Amino acid sequence: MTPKRLILPLALACLVVGLFCVSVAVGYAPLDIGAAFDDLLSGRPSLSALVLAELRLPRAILGAAVGFSLGITGAALQGLMRNPLADPGVVGVSGAAALGAVIAFYFGFSSTFAMALPIGRLAGAAAATAVLLILAARGAGTVVLILAGVALSSLAGALTALALNLAPSPYAALELVFWLMGSLSDRSMVHVALALPFMTIGWALVLGTGSALDALTLGEEAAESLGFPLRRVRLRVIAGTAAAVGASVAVAGAIGFVGLVVPHLMRPLVGHRPGRLLLASGLAGAALTLGADIVVRLIPTRPELKLGVVTALIGAPFFLFLLIRLKGMER
> Site residues (CB under 8 A) for another protein?
82, 211, 214-219, 221-222, 224-229, 271-274, 329-331
Sequence-distant (6+) residues with CB within 8 A of 323 are none
CB 153 to another protein: min, Å:
24
Secondary structure of the chain as H, E, C letters: CCHHHHHHHHHHHHHHHHHHHHHHHCCCCCCCHHHHHHHHHHCCCCHHHHHHHHHHHHHHHHHHHHHHHHHHHHHHHHHHHCCCCCCHHHHCHHHHHHHHHHHHHHCCHHHHCCCHHHHHHHHHHHHHHHHHHHHHHCCCCHHHHHHHHHHHHHHHHHHHHHHHHCCCCHHHHHHHHHHHECCCCCCCHHHHHHHHHHHHHHHHHHHCCHHHHHHHHHCHHHHHHCCCCHHHHHHHHHHHHHHHHHHHHHHHCECCCHHHHHHHHHHHHHCCCHHHHHHHHHHHHHHHHHHHHHHHHHCCCCCCCCHHHHHHHHHHHHHHHHHHHHCCCCC
The residue (of 87 and 214) whose beta carbon lies closer to another protein is 214
CB 159 to another protein: min, Å:
35
Based on its alpha-carbon atoms, the radius of gyration of the chain, rounded to whole angstroms, reads: 20
The residue (of 202 and 275) whose beta carbon lies closer to another protein is 275
The residue (of 14 and 326) whose beta carbon lies closer to another protein is 326
CB 256 to another protein: min, Å:
24
CA dihedral sign, ordered 301, 305, 309, 313:
positive
CB 157 to another protein: min, Å:
30
The residue (of 78 and 110) whose beta carbon lies closer to another protein is 78
First to last CA, the chain: 28
The residue (of 89 and 210) whose beta carbon lies closer to another protein is 210
CB 1 to another protein: min, Å:
10
The residue (of 212 and 307) whose beta carbon lies closer to another protein is 212
The residue (of 197 and 271) whose beta carbon lies closer to another protein is 271
CB 267 to another protein: min, Å:
9
The residue (of 272 and 297) whose beta carbon lies closer to another protein is 272
CB 329 to another protein: min, Å:
7
CB 83 to another protein: min, Å:
8
